[in-house]
Amino acid sequence: MSIRLLNVWHIGAWNRNIGDWALAYHMHRLLNEQAALKGWHLNFYLVDGQRTYFHPELVDQLNAEADLVIIGGGGNLFHRPEDHSQSGWMLNISLTELDRVKKPIVVYGIGYNRFPFDPNEFPAITSRHLLYLQEKARLFSARNHGSKKVMVEQFGLIPNKIDVIPDAGICLYDRHIEIPALNKKGPVIALNWAGDRPSFRYPEPAGQHMQHSQDIIKSALLRSVHELDAQIMFLPHLMGIDTEIYPDFAEGFPSRSIFSTHLELPFLYRPPGEILYANVPFFTNFFRQADLVLGMRAHTCILSFGAGTKFIPLGEHCKLAHFAADVGIPSDYIIPRLPLGPDAAAQVFGKIQSCLEDSSYQRLIETAHGKQMEILRAFNDRVLNVLA
């Protein structure tokens, strides 16, 4: 049987964050797995929507080469004034050039991604741009119900024309990789600490609140080492931004009780701007080798869920709460803001211990994952039908 080859221009945040690369990798694998049943193969042409200016000649190329345009997924609905985006969000294309796109468009699981203390408002163009994109797209989807709610209430989108699908990062095609420092004598607790944009993540004074949060988490993890015989896996997503706190954070832990993946396997961490696609199956395997993950980034929680690993969302960013709500994570295991007071570390330790011991949480993840995969596969079938 001959194979039908189809070209997909995939527009997303293909930059320094390996969580977004993981989303792309797993989306491509799953879509091609389903396309193969039709005798098709999709060739993906990756375009970084945040750093690409869609000039007329580029749109001409898209119209000449693409069979389908996919926009998303991930936390694409953000506004950074320094990007000078023509739309006010990730997709840097004017309404004029968007109107000239002739090939079918699928908006694939985009998410609202404004930080809790970000003072920058979306410009007026963003609502008009999203409304026109929704009208033009063959399919338009959000990555959680919380994002859909914001799209409707803040940007005026039409609710019955927004599907809700899970982030494709829940479908792991990981490959095992040995972590030299891992001993597995006790539970392995992974910590993903997000070091970027502290002034957007914490109330003022942001530096003091960030340090206070680090101190609480460190105390809780030290207690986990001493009382639960745990080993701590420091699991950064971004080199520099996420890794610079590690030497101070690791100080005071017993020998061999803590390690960082960026030091154990440095070849999986590349400088900003490099292609991370080939590292994804090995990086995502870290989540399968942990027993519990504390995560400040949405993809940390999403990839943990995909690996069937318990996780505790950590931080006030709404995308954490949105994902947790959609998959039914118990509120007891969500820490939107770290507690204050002398017993704060004890409270966090209590959640860690309880979570590790809670077999019902493990069953919940397994059941929820099956349901979310059904939603994702069904949406992918509709994406492929656009190409039929």
Digit-coded pLDDT (tens) for 195-239: 889 999 999 999 999 999 999 999 999 999 999 999 999 999 988
Per-residue pLDDT at 251 exceeds 80: yes
Which among 63-72, 113-122, 312-321 has the top mean pLDDT? 63-72
Domain annotation for the chain: domains and CATH numbers: 4-169+372-386 (3.40.50), 188-357 (3.40.50)
Per-residue pLDDT at 337 exceeds 90: no
Can you give the chain as a three-state secondary structure string? CCCEEEEEEEEECCCCCHHHHHHHHHHHHHHHHHHHCCCEEEEEEEEECCCCCCCHHHHHHHHHHCCEEEEEEEEEECCCHHHCCCCCCCCCCCHHHHHHCCCCEEEEEEEECCCCCCCCCCCHHHHHHHHHHHHHCCEEEECCHHHHHHHHHCCCCCHHHCEECCCHHHCCCCCCCCCCCCCCCCCEEEEECCCCCHHHHCCCCHHHHHHHHHHHHHHHHHHHHHHHCCEEEECCCCCCCCCCCHHHHHCCCCCCCEEEHHHHCHHHCCCCCCCCHHHHHHHCHHHHCCCEEEECCHHHHHHHHHHCCEEEEECCCHHHHHHHHHHCCCHHHCECCCCCCCCHHHHHHHHHHHHHHCHHHHHHHHHHHHHHHHHHHHHHHHHHHHCC
Digit-coded pLDDT (tens) for 100-130: 999 999 999 999 999 999 999 999 999 999 9
- What pLDDT, on the 0 to 100 scale, is given for residue 101? 98
Write down the mean pLDDT value for the chain: 95
Per-residue pLDDT at 341 exceeds 90: no
* Per-residue confidence band for 270, with pLDDT thresholds at 50, 70 and 90: confident
Per-residue pLDDT at 289 exceeds 80: yes
